[in-house]
Amino acid sequence: MSKIVRGNGFAAVTQTTTGQDYPAAQAVALTDGDNNVLSLAGGALPVSSGSGPYTSLNAATSTGPGAVTDLGVVRSSHTLQTSTTGAPTGVTVTLEGSLAATGPWVTLATSTSTTGDVQSATGKAVRYVRANLTVLTGGTAPTVTALIASGS
- Position 152 scores a pLDDT of 82
Global pTM exceeds 0.85 = no
**pLDDT of 35 over the 80 cut:** no
* 3-state DSSP assignment of residue 79: strand
Per residue in 68-93, pLDDT tens? Answer: 999 999 999 999 999 999 999 999 99
- Position 40 scores a pLDDT of 44
- Position 46 scores a pLDDT of 44
**pLDDT of 47 over the 70 cut:** no
> Above pLDDT 90, what percent of the chain?
65
- Position 119 scores a pLDDT of 98
- DSSP letter for 44, please: B
* 3-state DSSP assignment of residue 1: coil
Upper half-sphere CA count for residue 112 (Cβ side, 13 Å) = 0
Residues in the chain: 152
